[in-house]
């Protein structure tokens, strides 16, 4: 075989090659080349036919999806309205700039250019960089909102040099009264990676789209959201819009109407001033909540784009704990504000309101002396409320036992959780013997009854509960607090107290303000309207010294509950001022002015405007000034903010901080609203107790 091949080969090479044979070879081979060319031409024609005809539909679709860009139009968020249809949260049109990190080509150069165009300071740029780091690429990051037209135009012109930057005209959430509604309404922010993974909704990563992050905004997210619109536009490969093709309008989210009176809410929040306090106002006819404020508060308008480092530092370092909604989640010993409730409990256990107890300046229990704040002399039930005489309630509580009082406390709303949207409430503690055994494995003592009867010791309540209690005492009805306006509710049933029994509590409270009681300084200066109330001063720590001096943190809490008008109760209110010292000093004046607002707003505003001059402006102005001071002081040195869970953590630790102190064993006998109590005997030896309510859900009394 091989030989044959070689033979053939040698034969061919040996063959004589003339120009004639070459000419023939050329002819043959040129035909070959020509037919190869023709063949390829046919192949190309077939290929083109395949692409252009057979695959036409597929490629036409791909060309269309190249050409047409479908952009979601974020739906306008439903408004949150107050009872008069004034917005607590609305939307306003603005020019905004967002940025999609994964489309950035040169992040640093783009940031530098944006910083220059928008005049961002180093702190802003640092915050922006943090947000980009956290964003996981596909999530848009807000650069700036509320731009004026010039800045917006400047950005738009330079777009080709800044891939990934998206300027647009859209709607952003606006809270007209800012911090006043922060805790109540919550705030909105860009969806987190977690939100997106849960929902997988492309709307969530549409630049400029925000979802509810807290409060009602979060609770009513599905209702407020609406349906996104879509805009089809023709775009170039680099994303430049050539022309709009068609637009489907968005469907705005549903508005939500609250029982809140926006003006009252704002007034109450601002009237709190520099204090750390909660004011809650309830409509005594319907149970609707008219105001639910907790100050200081963050500015929900500023939270929308994420929380900056300095903002975070500022909020965290504030000992007034702006992140805590004190109205729903702050727990305080109620102090003497319990006395009207206690008077009802005593009456249904057969104590005559006219029975007199002599107050020699304290109460002797065994070998211990509980000291009252004055020598009140002979006290009946009404005057004991008027003068906040502890001796009267100690002796009566000793007689009937606290287990007789606790059910009435619960009936009036203490220790209860109410069905309200938004932030979860903490329901505190209304102690009794069973509770103490369960919690501390100890028997209930008479000293515990004495402490609890004047709202000290183990008792802790939230400002909302105090307001509900006040409304129920004032109306005599089992009012249920509500936030949603327009849900017609059957008239609340009467509580099991006789009008006569209620009248005793009402009379006592009337005399607190209008008689010679502890709150006379807060008498309402409105014609034909009288207010009834009760002061409370709650010990923060078991102190041997007075609780109104020393550092802020160890001062007594100041409380006040009230309702007006006294002849036909319409509004009930609770005011809790953290570390405000005497109830009459800090809480009652706030309550008086807020109540004045309800009957004579002009007069109330005049008072507030004068006060705010001394405080350094509105809460918003004070917050801005404080932020600028932080910028000047710390610049870009503040540590990075982790993420939203940090807010939750901060809230939790804030709650732990304001939770009532452990009823320290040796202080159990040291109750003292408005009283300086010095135990004159060695304390009862008690075993070490576990740490008291510091968790969001303490082992309180279950309803």
Partner 1 sequence: MRIGEIVPDTIARQPWRVIVPLTLLVLFGSTVLYSAAGGSLKPWALNHFLRYLVFLGMALTLSFVPRDYFKAAAYPLYGVIMVLLVLVELIGGIGGGSQRWLNLGFMTLQPSELMKPVIVLAMARYYDDLPPSMTVNWRALIPAAALLVLPAGLVIIQPDLGTATAICFGAVVVIFLAGVPMSWFIAAGLAGAIAAPLAFFTLLHDYQRQRVFVFLDPQSDPLGTGYHILQSSIAIGSGGFFGKGFMNGSQSHLDYLPEAHTDFVFATMAEEWGMVGGLFVLGVFAILLRWGMNAARRAPDRFSQLLAAGMTATVFFYVAINLMMVMGLAPVVGIPLPFVSHGGSSMMTNMLCIGTIMAIERWSRTGRRSLS
- Interface with partner 1 (CB under 8 A): 9, 12-13, 15-19, 21-23, 25-27, 29-30, 33-34, 37-38, 40-41, 43-45, 47-49, 51-53, 55-56, 58-60, 62-64, 66-67, 234-238, 242
Our CA angle for 390, 391, 397, nearest 5°, is 85
Chain centroid offset of residue 582 CA: 28
Residue 143, number of CB atoms within 10 A of its CB? 28
How far apart CA 160 and CA 476 sit, in angstroms, is 70
Radius of gyration of the chain (CA): 37
Cα 112 → chain centroid: 34
Minimum CB separation of residue 106 from partner 1 in Å reads: 18
**Cα–Cα dist 175/445, whole Å:** 51
Q: Judged by CB, which is closer to partner 1: 63, or 549?
A: 63
> From residue 294, how far is each of 218, 232, 265, 430, 462 by CA, in Å?
18, 45, 10, 23, 12
Beta carbon nearer to partner 1, 19 or 528: 19
With 0-12 / 13-18 / 19 or more C-beta atoms within 10 angstroms meaning exposed / middle / buried, residue 297 is buried
| Smaller CB separation from partner 1, 236 or 544 | 236
Q: Which two tokens stand for residue 102?
A: 């994964």
- Minimum distance, C-beta of residue 68 to partner 1, in the bound complex (Å): 9
Two structure tokens written together for 523: 């008498």
SS3 544: coil
CA 630/CA 595 separation, integer angstroms: 36
Which residues does 589 contact at the CB level (< 8 Å), separation at least 6?
Answer: 521, 522
Report the residue number, 20 or 499, with the smaller CB distance to partner 1. Answer: 20
- Provide the Cα torsion 14, 20, 26, 32; round to 10°: -80
CB of 243 to partner 1, least distance (A): 11
Q: Which is nearer to partner 1, 63 or 112 (CB)?
A: 63
In the complex, the smallest distance separating the C-beta of residue 196 from partner 1, rounded to whole angstroms, is 22
The smaller minimum CB distance to partner 1, of residues 44 and 625, is found at 44
Nearer to partner 1, 100 or 389 (CB): 100
Q: CA geometry: angle at 49 spanning 47 and 53, to 5°?
A: 130
Query: How many residues appear in the chain?
Result: 703
From CA 432, how far away is CA 438, in angstroms rounded?
10
Closest approach of partner 1 to the CB of residue 3, in Å: 17
170/159 Cα distance (integer angstroms): 18
Distance between CA 594 and CA 614 in Å, rounded?
18
Please, what is the minimum distance in Å from the beta carbon of residue 111 to partner 1? 24
- The whole-angstrom separation of Cα 331 and Cα 655 is 8
Do 530 and 566 meet the contact criterion of CB atoms below 8 Å apart? yes
Minimum CB distance to partner 1, residue 122 (Å): 35
Helix (H, G, I), strand (E, B) or coil at 11: helix
- For the record, the structure tokens of 203 come out as 């709307």
Considering only CA atoms, which of 105, 265, 101 is closest in space to residue 182? 265
Please identify, using beta-carbon distances, which residue of 234 and 318 lies nearer to partner 1: 234
Give the integer Cα–Cα distance in Å for 611 and 615: 7
Q: Please say which residue, 20 or 639, places its beta carbon nearer to partner 1.
A: 20
- Nearest residue (CB) to partner 1, 59 versus 138: 59
Min separation Cβ 40 and partner 1, Å: 5
Task: Provide the minimum distance between the beta carbon of 4 and partner 1 in the complex, in angstroms, as a whole number.
Answer: 14
Pick 153 or 242: Cβ nearer partner 1: 242
In the complex, minimum distance from the CB of residue 234 to partner 1, in angstroms, rounded to a whole number: 7
Between residues 1 and 632, which has the closer beta carbon with respect to partner 1?
A: 1
CB of residue 99 vs partner 1: minimum separation in angstroms? Answer: 20
Which phi and psi (to 5°) does residue 429 adopt? Answer: -140, 125
Closest distance of CB 52 from partner 1, Å: 5
DSSP symbol at 575: E
Contact 544, 511 (CB under 8 A): no
The token pair that represents 376 in the structure block: 């009140």
Least Å from the CB of residue 465 to partner 1: 60
CB 86 within 8 A of CB 156: no
- Of 32 and 112, nearer to partner 1 (C-beta) is 32
Distance of closest approach, residue 161 Cβ to partner 1, in angstroms: 16
Pick 234 or 600: Cβ nearer partner 1: 234
Cα angle vertex 537, ends 569, 347, to 5°? 55
């Amino acid at each position: 075989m091989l030989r044959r091949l070689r033979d053939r080969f040698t034969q061919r090479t040996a063959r004589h090659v003339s120009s004639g044979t070459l000419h023939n070879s050329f002819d043959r081979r040129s035909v070959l080349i020509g037919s190869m060319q023709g063949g390829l031409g046919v192949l190309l024609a077939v290929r083109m036919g395949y692409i252009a005809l057979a695959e036409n539909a597929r490629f036409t679709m791909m060309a269309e999806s190249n050409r047409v860009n479908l952009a979601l139009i974020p739906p306008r968020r439903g408004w949150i309205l107050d009872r008069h249809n004034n917005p607590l949260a609305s939307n306003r049109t603005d020019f905004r700039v967002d940025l999609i990190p994964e489309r950035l080509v040169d992040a640093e150069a783009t940031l530098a250019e944006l910083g220059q165009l928008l005049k961002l300071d180093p702190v802003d740029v640092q915050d922006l960089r943090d947000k980009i780091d956290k964003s996981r690429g596909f999530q848009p990051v807000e650069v700036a909102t509320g731009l004026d037209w010039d800045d917006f135009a400047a950005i738009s012109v330079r777009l080709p040099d800044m891939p990934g930057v998206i300027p647009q005209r859209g709607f952003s959430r606006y809270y007209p009264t800012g911090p006043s509604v922060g805790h109540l309404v919550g705030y909105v922010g860009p969806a987190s990676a977690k939100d997106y993974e849960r929902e997988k909704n492309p709307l969530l990563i549409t630049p400029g789209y925000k979802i509810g992050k807290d409060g009602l905004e979060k609770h009513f997210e599905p209702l407020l959201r609406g349906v996104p619109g879509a805009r089809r536009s023709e775009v170039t490969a680099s994303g430049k819009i050539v022309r709009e093709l068609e637009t489907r309008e968005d469907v705005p989210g549903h508005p939500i109407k609250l029982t809140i009176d926006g003006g009252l809410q704002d007034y109450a929040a601002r009237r709190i001033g520099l204090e750390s306090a909660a004011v809650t106002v309830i409509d005594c006819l319907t149970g609707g909540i008219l105001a639910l404020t907790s100050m200081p508060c963050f500015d929900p308008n500023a939270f929308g784009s994420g929380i900056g480092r300095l903002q975070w530092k500022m909020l965290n370092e504030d000992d007034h704990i702006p992140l805590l909604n004190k109205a729903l989640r702050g727990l305080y010993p109620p102090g003497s504000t319990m006395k009207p409730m206690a008077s009802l409990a005593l009456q249904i256990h057969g104590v005559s309101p006219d029975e007199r107890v002599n107050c020699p300046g304290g109460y002797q229990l065994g070998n211990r002396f509980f000291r009252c704040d004055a020598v009140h002399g002979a006290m009946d039930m009404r005057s004991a409320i008027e003068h906040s005489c502890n001796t009267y309630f100690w002796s009566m509580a000793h007689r009937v036992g606290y287990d007789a009082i606790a059910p009435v406390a619960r009936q009036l709303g203490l220790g209860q959780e109410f069905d309200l949207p938004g932030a979860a409430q903490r329901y505190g503690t209304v102690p009794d013997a069973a509770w103490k055994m369960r919690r501390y494995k100890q028997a209930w003592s008479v000293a515990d009854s004495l402490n609890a009867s004047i709202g000290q010791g183990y008792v802790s309540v939230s400002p909302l509960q105090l307001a509900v209690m006040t409304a129920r005492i004032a109306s005599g009805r089992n009012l249920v607090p509500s936030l949603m306006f327009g849900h017609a509710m059957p008239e609340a049933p009467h509580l099991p107290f006789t009008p006569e029994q209620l009248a005793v509590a009402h009379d006592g409270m009337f005399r607190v303000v209008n008689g010679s009681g502890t709150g006379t300084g807060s008498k309402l200066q409105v014609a034909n309207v009288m207010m009834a109330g009760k002061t409370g001063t709650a010990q923060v720590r078991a102190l041997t010294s007075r609780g109104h001096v020393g550092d802020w943190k160890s001062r007594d809490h100041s409380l006040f509950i009230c309702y007006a008008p006294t002849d036909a109760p319409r509004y009930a209110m609770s005011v809790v001022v953290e570390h405000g010292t005497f109830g009459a000093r800090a809480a009652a004046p706030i309550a008086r002015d807020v109540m004045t607002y309800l009957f004579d707003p002009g007069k109330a505003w005049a008072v507030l405007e004068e006060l705010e001059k001394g405080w350094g402006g509105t809460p918003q102005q004070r917050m801005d000034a404080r932020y600028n001071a932080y910028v000047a002081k710390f610049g870009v040195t503040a540590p990075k903010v982790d993420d939203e869970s940090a807010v939750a953590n901060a809230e939790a630790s804030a709650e732990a901080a304001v939770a009532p102190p452990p009823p320290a064993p040796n202080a159990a006998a040291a109750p003292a609203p408005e009283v300086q109590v010095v135990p004159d005997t060695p304390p009862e030896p008690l075993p070490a107790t576990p740490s008291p309510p510091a968790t969001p859900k303490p082992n309180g009394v279950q309803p």
